[in-house]
Structure 1
């Protein structure tokens, strides 16, 4: 039973990533090693972030409600993720949709491997069933959409021919992406939501965020002929 639960969790996490890679057509472009490159840049970026956090934000912080400013400054370090995505996009040749999908899927896959493999291997194979592992698996799928949307926004922001008004919107969405975990955590604490409602809030936010990004990208791509 525990092995069956572990298999379900692994499938729930990794099958959507595999399908996203195959069905997006990236395999036809030979983008596998570019996805690996994106994953390596992700690891370097996370190492840099951990170094900064350990140096300037030692782990002696109080809870969110009493030190909001400190937490705000800690999440500012997540701007490094946007820099990392920019470096990934700069190293990938090809059209816009190929670049953003390769960067987003490669980045998200590296994160899910580093953050979920050990968790599932140690936890989901345990003697007792726990819903927390299914919640973590579903959250991984939410993060896949989040990272593809973030890669799309970084690509749009890097274009010199982007309309000034649109660039302001894109910049706002990128900033919102950095502070999303803090805002959602604060929101969940205020409303005292349980884990499932917390996941629902994250999924809803990511859906709106992704649809907004898709709308901007589709409009820009249609006008500029960059599909």
Structure 2
């Protein structure tokens, strides 16, 4: 029973990544090793973030409130992720959709390998059933969408012709706001949790709605800019 539970969790965790890779036609661009390269950059970026947090926010420091300035600075370290994704995008040749999806899958794939695989291998095999592992797997699937969306935002931000888009709000300003909303997703949900108590399933649902809402807006800008590029 424990092995069956472990198998279900692994399938729920990794199959969406495989399907995304397969049906995005990334194999036509030889993107597998680019995904590996993206994963290495992810690991290096997380190491740099850990060093920054260990240097400026030592673990023995007293606990800080979610609303505190110190907590905001800690969350702001995640801005380094944008730099890492930008570096991946710059190192990948080819069409924009291949670059964005490759960067997103490489980043998200490294994340689940480093943060989820050991958890499932050690813990999920040791119990007959626990919803927490299913929840972790579902959260990783949401993160896949989130990272692909973030890669699309970084690509949009890097385009010099972004300002040519017709929009009520300046496209540059809109993309900057979306980038901040992407980076501070966890902080925003934690802030909401100050006033409302959520269980684990509610948090997953909120993350899904939050990510999907941002993704739809990003998709609009991405599609418009891709169409504009195709005109020239």
Q: TM-score by structure 1 length? A: 0.96
Shift of 1:195: 0.5
Alpha-carbon deviation of 1:78?
A: 0.5
- Residue 104 of structure 1 is matched in structure 2 by 104
Matched, 1:166 2:171: yes
Gaps of 5+ in 1: none
How many angstroms apart in 2 are the aligned matches of 1:124 and 1:188? 28
Deviation at 1:219, TM superposition (A): 1.0
Per-residue CA shift, 1:28-47, capped at 9, x if unaligned?
21111111110000000000
Please say if residues 9 and 134 of structure 1, whose CA atoms lie closer than 8 Å, have aligned partners that are also in contact: yes
Cα deviation, 1:134-178, whole Å, max 9, x if unaligned, reads 000000000000000000000010011111711111111111111
What is aligned with 1:55? 55
Q: Deviations over 1:158-211 (max 9, x none)?
A: 011111711111111111111111111121232111000011001100110111
Q: For residues 1-227 of structure 1, what are the structure 2 equivalents within 5 Å? A: 1-59=1-59, 60-65=61-66, 68-163=68-163, 165-225=170-230
CA RMSD of aligned residues (A): 1.3
Contact 2:17 2:144 in 1 (8 A): yes
Task: Write the distance in 1 (CA, Å) between the matches of 2:162 and 2:224.
Answer: 11
Q: How many angstroms apart in 1 are the aligned matches of 2:228 and 2:216?
A: 18
Shift of 1:62: 1.5
Aligned mates of 2:194, 2:213 — CA distance in 1: 21
**Misfit runs of 4+, over 3 Å:** none
Partner Cα separation in structure 2 for residue 8 and residue 209 of structure 1? 29
Distance in 1 (CA, whole Å) between partners of 2:100 and 2:65 is 34
Q: Is the 8 A contact 2:89 2:100 kept in 1?
A: yes
Displacement after TM superposition at 1:108 (Å): 0.6
TM-score by length of structure 2 reads 0.94
